[in-house]
Every structure is written in structure tokens, then in C-alpha cells.
Amino acid sequence: MIKYRLIFISALTVLLLDRIAKIAILASGNEFTKNLGIAFGIGHSVPGILFFLVALGLIGLIYLSKALDLKKQSNQIALGLILGGGISNILDRLFYGFVIDFIDIFSLSSFNLADVAVTFGSVILLVYFWRLPKMEERK
């Protein structure tokens, strides 16, 4: 049995949902945005370096996961969301040379399901680390 199965389940779920959504967008001929940068198109002028920075960020996240209490299901899910979203966007860069963004809200920014997952996972971990000193004080 996988000890931290929620990491695997949430990462695989995000990866599959995002890949299916992106394939459907491409197959349907609907409009999408080619994001050559990271979040909000930042760094679009150096796309080759971005692939390595994103990959390095995922490796760093795995390393930092040692500081997480992975007995907490919320931390497992958060880590899985970030890993699944990050891996899906890396696959876009490998397959297409850019990230496919297809959700557009008020023409402010385009993003995809992987971005949503990374954002939610990051918020969960930020709340965990913000509350950690308070939890330590109670002990």
C-alpha cells in the first residue's frame, strides 16, 4: 500500500484532467493562449530557461516536502495538486514549446486547470506554514 496515496491520487487526477481538457481544446479548434512564460506570461522572452526553472522548482518542492507533516491529508493533497499541475505544464512545454491556457476571465489573464491546481495547493501549504508556529506554541 502506498503510504502517502493522496499525493499520488491528487497528482494523477490533476494531470489527467488537465491533459484531457487541453487535448479537447486542441481537437475542438477553440481558441487558446500560447503561454511562453510562467505565471501570467512572466519570463516569456527566455522560454528555454523556463523549462529548467520549472523543473528545478518541482524538484525543490519534493525536497521541501520533507519539512511537511505528510501525515496530514491536506498536505498530501496540496503536494499532489502542485506536482500534478507542474508536471502537466512541463509536458506542454515538451510537446508544444508553450503552455496551453484556455480559461479566460474578464480578459485579465488566461490560465488552465493545472494553474488552478498549483494555486490551490500553494495556498493550502502557505496556510499550513503560516499556522505552524501557532501549532507549535500549543504543544
C-alpha cell at 117: 491546481
What is the Cα gyration radius of the chain?
16
Out of 18, 69, 101, 104, the active site residue is 101
Residue 104 among the catalytic residues? no
Contacts of 87 (CB under 8 A, 6+ apart): 11, 15, 58
Q: 124, 77 in Cβ contact below 8 A? A: yes
Q: Mark 86-114 as b/e (b = at least 16 C-beta within 10 Å).
A: bbbbbbbbeeeebbbbbeeeeeeebbbbb
Out of 69, 92, 104, 115, the active site residue is 115
Helix, strand, coil percent values for the chain (each to nearest 5): 70, 10, 20
Residue 69 among the catalytic residues? no
Active-site residue numbers?
A: 101, 115
